[in-house]
Structure 1
Amino acid sequence: MLEIINGVLLVYFLILCTISALVPQLVKPVAACFSRPSNNERNVWAELLKLKADQKKISMKDEFAQYSKLQRKINKLESQLKENSQDRLTKNVAVKGSVHIILQAVITLTIIVSMFLYRHEPLVLLKGNLFPLTRFLRFPCDIPNAVTTHVWVIISNVSIRTLLKPILS
């Protein structure tokens, strides 16, 4: 029923389509590398924890002035951490978006260039008469019942994305 003519290209396009479908999952670890807290943030966090521990040791009734002074320092450090967290979150979203766009563009460009280079190469020959689909499957190649790179990329993309959708969701 099926004769594989160019198995390397078949697998090559299958891998490219799989990577294209997995780009959102590949972006997450890359973006995580850029959004780690800085040493300054870690030091502020450690100081905040120390101040809170010191504040717990002080009685609010007996030493109200000292307790309030520590509370103001804690509030200041918390607001500083909140600002740093917002900056990091904004940076993380920008990095995720940029990396996603760049990866998707590189993969798409690779697929388009490869399809252009191998546009007349049949990947698979189907046995039998597929009359209504023959012209579509072999475009732009002239070999009857052939499946070319254009059709294979469409079939691979749709199939892989459909199969991976329940797993990745």
Structure 2
Amino acid sequence: MAPEECYFNIPVLLISTTVSFLSVHSTIVEKPVFKWLSKQTGREQELQQQKLALKNEQSLLSMVDEFAKYSKLQRRINVIDRELEQIKGEKPTNSFVLQLGFTYGVKLVFALLLIVLSLYYRYTPVLYLGDKVNLMPFTNFICYPNEANYVSFYFWVMCCVTVARLI
């Protein structure tokens, strides 16, 4: 027997809305993870500080008048640049294949999670609209596989994904 008033299945509503939104906007998850993975190590920070100090010292010199000192500082800066490039090259986050795999991996995880949730909550209505609402001619589409005036998990996820893409 259906209740008289509208009601929401809050846990299912929150879970489905959140996962639907994250499946479309997976960069919300990806960006912090990439930022954490590509965070500079202590050695990189130290080299960057040394390079900045050498550049500041070099900017105080006249290239024409003190060419020997200027060139010596430039060689030291070049050594630091090579070491920084070597350190950055060793990091796995610089790999294009890894970034692409991680990006689509996150999307795949959310898609699989939506499939599992759809199977788990297939007979659980997300909300009931009440007896006063008539959904004709879309009743079967909105309610499947539930009774009339219930919004199914499938329809709710489809609406959430559509709205998330529009945002």
Question: Fold-level match, TM-score > 0.5?
Answer: yes
Q: Is the 8 A contact 1:28 1:96 kept in 2?
A: no
Match of 2:34 in 1: 31
Runs of 5+ unmatched residues, structure 1: none
Relative distance call for 1:56 and 1:24 in structure 2 (3 A) is: closer
Q: Is the 8 A contact 1:34 1:95 kept in 2?
A: no
Using the alignment, how far apart are the partners of 1:90 and 1:125 within structure 2? 47
Match of 1:149 in 2: 153
User: SS where residue 11 of structure 1 aligns?
Assistant: helix
Using the alignment, how far apart are the partners of 2:138 and 2:59 within structure 1? 77
CA offset at residue 109 of structure 1? Answer: 1.8
CA offset at residue 30 of structure 1? Answer: 1.5
Q: Is the 8 A contact 2:93 2:99 kept in 1?
A: no
Q: 1:130 aligned to 2:135? A: yes
Q: Is the 8 A contact 1:10 1:123 kept in 2?
A: yes
Using the alignment, how far apart are the partners of 2:108 and 2:161 within structure 1? 15
Q: 2:22 aligns with which of 19, 25, 38?
A: 19
Match of 1:42 in 2: 45
Letter in 2 for 1:144: A
The one-character-per-residue Cα deviations of 1:7-58 (angstroms, maximum 9, x if unpaired) are 4322321222233344212221121111122333233323333433554565
User: SS where residue 126 of structure 2 aligns?
Assistant: strand
Using the alignment, how far apart are the partners of 1:118 and 1:151 within structure 2? 12
Using the alignment, how far apart are the partners of 1:61 and 1:54 within structure 2? 15
Match of 2:6 in 1: 3
CA offset at residue 147 of structure 1? Answer: 1.9
CA offset at residue 113 of structure 1? Answer: 1.2
Q: Once structures 1 and 2 are overlaid, which stretch shifts more, 107-116 or 4-13?
A: 4-13
Using the alignment, how far apart are the partners of 1:73 and 1:144 within structure 2? 76
Relative distance call for 1:2 and 1:157 in structure 2 (3 A) is: farther
The one-character-per-residue Cα deviations of 1:121-141 (angstroms, maximum 9, x if unpaired) are 333334343332112112233
Runs of 5+ unmatched residues, structure 2: none
Q: Is the 8 A contact 1:119 1:149 kept in 2?
A: yes
CA offset at residue 87 of structure 1? Answer: 6.4
Using the alignment, how far apart are the partners of 1:160 and 1:9 within structure 2? 17
CA-based RMSD of the aligned residues comes to: 3.4
More helix by share: 1
Using the alignment, how far apart are the partners of 2:105 and 2:32 within structure 1? 15
Relative distance call for 1:132 and 1:80 in structure 2 (3 A) is: same
Q: 1:112 aligns with which of 115, 128, 131?
A: 115
Using the alignment, how far apart are the partners of 1:138 and 1:152 within structure 2? 10
Aligned 1:42-61 pairs, distance under 5 A:
42-55=45-58, 60-61=63-64
Q: Once structures 1 and 2 are overlaid, which stretch shifts more, 59-68 or 72-81?
A: 59-68
